[in-house]
Amino acid sequence: MTKTKILCSLGPKSENVTTIRELLKAGVSGFRLSATHYELDRLIQLVNLLDEVRMDSSKPFSIIVDLPGSKLRIKLPASLEFLEVRDGENVLVSEAELQTSKKYVILSESRVIQQINEGDVVLLDDGRLQLRVVKKYGKYVDCFVERGGKIKKNSGVNLPTVKLSIPSITEKDRYVIKSTSNLRIDYYCLSFVRSSKDVYELKNLLETLDSPSAVLAKIETKEALENFEEICKASDGIIIARGDLAVETSLENLPILQKMLISRASRFRIPIIVATQLLESMVENTQPTRTEVTDIANAILDGADGLLLTIETAIGERPVLVVETMKKILKSVEEHLDELGIWFEARRREQSTDTSDAIAKSSYEIARETHAKLIIASTASGSTARRVSYFRPNCPILATTPKESTYFQLPIVWGVVPVLVPEAYSVDIVLHVAVEKAKTLGYVEPSDVVIITLGTPCGVVGTTNMLKVHIVE
């Protein structure tokens, strides 16, 4: 298993049980289902299928549902499959169908038209086409085509110069959540987050539905960048969605943004996932490009917990080969983390002001000095395991937990191997069970050194206050 986690999206090429099992065997630690591309009945069916697979598997993985969110899309007049626009032409962007001979497209959210003004930029299809508003009318705007191309049905729309007032959690999002909250979903991805208020709104909704699901905030708007720390503080993890983020900002700034966002988010001890175009050439090809391999290596060295494959495993011809290729790249890079991971050395030099952080840092340092085979983090909420992961130890982190929700949320955290154990209220029992589990799983054998962190009283969240150097008998 790699320490950097591989997440993949299911789609027409991978949503059958045989391929899911093969992907799991190849190294996947989390499966993403897009509620944008699935009807509700099929979405529910696939969540249940994934849950059945993991109940039969010895390897835990996370089930992630990506909510549609407030993504703007283009609709075309009923008679068209696509619309070709050329540089220098004019095209109308409307809130409804028009009776006109001019070229026009329709915006999926009609009220947005009122928020667009002259001079604003309209980007289509991940920025491949660029329009600029030259005249505003009541129910449509007239745009000059600065970069033309073929406009397809449901092409995405970005308005980087417009502050939208549409809610981040849409009515469709609410419908999906309410219809699936009784299922064993580990994370909901909240799309187009603009502030921490959006995250808290989703968490409050999940709480009212008595759902233990956690929230991953997708960072893909300018407003999210402006409110980034507050979003991280509110979230259970973030996804750096490089597709829309590059369109909303700029391609040339994306590499620096990625490094800065990972560095800033890591301070909150939450999982950080990098997504979009990681191995996109393998949708059709059997090998990645050199650029893709380098990009993946940089994401690992930047400090990403996991990498999310999207169309590569959803519609690509060889989803299992894609994951196997990703795993080879991760293994190769992870061999050099100590010599090349300058970000991690900086983390290890930080002063710890929190007791739990100090113990996590000490577990890393003592494991290094004693050449420990394993760090065992006894955790109820998963916080201890995430804190140890932050320091990027060489040895695996075995996270023992009695909580099933924690057990299925931890697989996406760097270097963590979650293990479900019975509830115990004695330190001696917690230690004994943890070490026996490690022996059973083959991580340690007699005379090996193990570092164990736990808290008293046992089973209470936020009480990590003990560290033990243990020799396996």
Digit-by-digit pLDDT tens for the chain (473 residues) are: 899 999 999 999 999 999 999 999 999 999 999 998 899 999 999 999 999 999 999 899 999 999 988 888 888 888 788 899 999 999 999 988 888 889 999 998 878 898 999 999 999 988 889 999 999 998 999 999 999 999 988 788 988 888 887 788 989 999 999 999 999 999 999 998 999 999 999 999 999 999 999 999 999 988 999 999 999 999 999 999 998 898 888 889 999 999 999 999 999 999 999 999 999 999 999 999 999 999 999 999 999 999 999 999 999 999 999 999 999 999 999 999 888 877 788 888 888 778 888 999 999 999 999 999 999 999 999 999 999 999 999 999 999 999 999 999 999 999 999 999 988 777 788 888 889 889 999 999 899 999 999 877 666 666 677 899 999 88
Question: Residue 342 burial (CB < 10 Å; 0-12/13-18/19+)?
Answer: exposed
SS3 category, 315: coil
SS3 category, 292: helix
pTM: 0.92
What is the Cα–Cα distance from 313 to 320, expressed in whole angstroms?
8
Q: How far is CA 378 from CA 204, 382, 416, 419, 468, in A?
A: 28, 8, 12, 10, 12
Q: What is the pLDDT of residue 361?
A: 93
Q: What is the pLDDT of residue 79?
A: 78
Sign (positive/negative) of CA torsion 323, 326, 330, 332? positive
